[in-house]
Amino acid sequence: MNAELRSESVSDFRLLINGRLIPGAATFNVINPATEDILAACPRADRKQLDQAVAAAKAAFPAWAATPIEKRRELLLRLADELESESLAFARLLTQEQGKPLFAAAFEMRGAVGMIRTWAPMDLRTEVLRETDTSRIVRQRIPLGVVAAITPWNVPVHLLMLKLPPALLAGNTVVVKPAPSTPLTTLRLGEICARLFPPGVVNIITDENDLGAALTSHPDVAKIAFTGSTATGKKVLASTASTIKRLTLELGGNDPAIVLDDADPKEVAPKIFNGAMINSGQVCLAIKRVYAHDSLYDRLCEELAELAKRAVVGDGMDEGTQLGPLQNKMQFEKVKGYLEDARERGKIIAGGAPLNRRGYFIPPTIVRDIPDDARLVREEQFGPVLPVLRYSDLDDAIARANDSDYGLGATVWSSNPDRAYQVALRINSGTVWVNKHMDLPHDLPFGGAKQSGLGTEMGQEGLEEFTQAKIVNLAK
């Protein structure tokens, strides 16, 4: 391993409150999931510091909202430039705290930079809805106030960029709270924000999952932008009721893949495997369950199993690693429970047991002949364990795919795109792909159905989620 990678500095992290980089009231340890060693001491905010961050954002809001959008756009583009110039250091730190291979961390950083540059040129022009000889009716988009951006541990930098840039471009101020197991890259981002933005416009606090309720219920927070599990999303939703906060929730998924009888197992298997195992399965939009027609079920299972056996699992800092560890011990133990379920309810044909080494490593696991009511099928595993189910009737497969509380994404695989499109129209998910997976252009909207979320992220619609529409109706 490159010694330079091992010696990357991971010290001196600070909160960002009112333009100042300050220590927390306490600290907590961040663990490298590939080694289980302590990576860094992270500042831990207390309730007083949370209140200070919200107060700073509230105080900064009037001036920031009055700042011309052209100036806000310019600062966002400078943020993109600085993040790009430091992207290698960010990628190394991201691999160490999250676990993903270095090439995947670098890809995440490129995506984060690209996301900022996609948001920056967008606009919020006043629209004339109707004009007659006697009246003029216009719609104006105005900022909401203080936005709380709460991000998860699986894709921490990129997912923050679905929240921070549009909130700022729209004229809001922000309090960011990253997941406690991956706070370090966000705190490093705070160092850039401290140089670029006026005091109070961007604030970053970190906790040990003890300040979330105080932030989401805070009377001076106008909107919550949250990405995380459905279970936590329900708590966030409940906490906003007393103040009727605006809310965007991007939650869990149990995304089905339906493989039609005319698909080529050898051709689609690598795409399905990559769609399921990306980030070691720790992606809300990863393929979580596969429904394959009788006529190709055995061949598809064999192809997926062979891909799983060949995959290189290891420390993300090691050259050649394709899949890293699970990000934290709690998720590691949860996925081990799904492995037990798979052993009891199905047939494991690849993987099936944690690696015998330090770190939270579970190899890609393929499970066949498992019933629909197994936990691995009904729940979101968020790990590298993929159940493959058999069907003979397409209507039955669609019904089974739709039989879920989740509705985030789905895929359909076929040699006939038009036929697959007709199937896609019948799947109850916010996004359905045909013969590809996780193609998410930054300028197009994305959101979940059912218990997979509320509201829209990305695209013009995503920007408008950070505004209030105001109608002005005037007589001439």
Q: Which residues lie below 8 Å from residue 119, measured CB to CB, with a gap of 6+?
A: 76, 161, 165, 166, 169, 442, 463
Q: Which residues lie below 8 Å from residue 371, measured CB to CB, with a gap of 6+?
A: 345, 346, 377
CA pseudo-torsion sign 65, 68, 71, 77: positive
Question: Which residues pair with residue 42 across a beta bridge?
Answer: 28
Question: Which residues pair with residue 431 across a beta bridge?
Answer: 409
Backbone angles phi, psi at 246, to 5 degrees: -70, 150
CA pseudo-torsion sign 345, 382, 103, 10: negative
DSSP 8-class letter at 292: E
C-alpha to C-alpha distance for 58 and 213, rounded to whole angstroms? 19
Distances (CA, A) of 195 to 68, 129, 187: 19, 40, 13
Q: Which of 173, 176, 194, 146 is nearest to 19 (CA)?
A: 194
Q: 90: how many CB neighbours lie within 10 A of its CB?
A: 23
SS3 category, 199: coil
Task: Give the relative orientation of helices 87-98 and 69-85 as an angle to the nearest 10 degrees.
Answer: 70
Q: 300: how many CB neighbours lie within 10 A of its CB?
A: 25
Counting beta carbons within 10 angstroms of the beta carbon of residue 81, is it exposed (0 to 12), middle (13 to 18) or buried (19 or more)? middle
Q: Which tokens belong to 328?
A: 């934290």
Q: Which of 427, 433, 430, 435 is nearest to 445 (CA)?
A: 430
284 is catalytic: yes
Q: Which tokens belong to 352?
A: 């099936």
Tell me whether strands 453-454 and 467-475 are parallel, antiparallel or unpaired.
unpaired
Counting beta carbons within 10 angstroms of the beta carbon of residue 475, is it exposed (0 to 12), middle (13 to 18) or buried (19 or more)? exposed
Q: Which of 250, 269, 205, 190 is nearest to 25 (CA)?
A: 205
Catalytic residue among 97, 108, 193, 284: 284
Catalytic residue among 108, 250, 380, 457: 250
250 is catalytic: yes
Question: Which residues pair with residue 27 across a beta bridge?
Answer: 43
Task: Supply the residues annotated as catalytic.
Answer: 250, 284
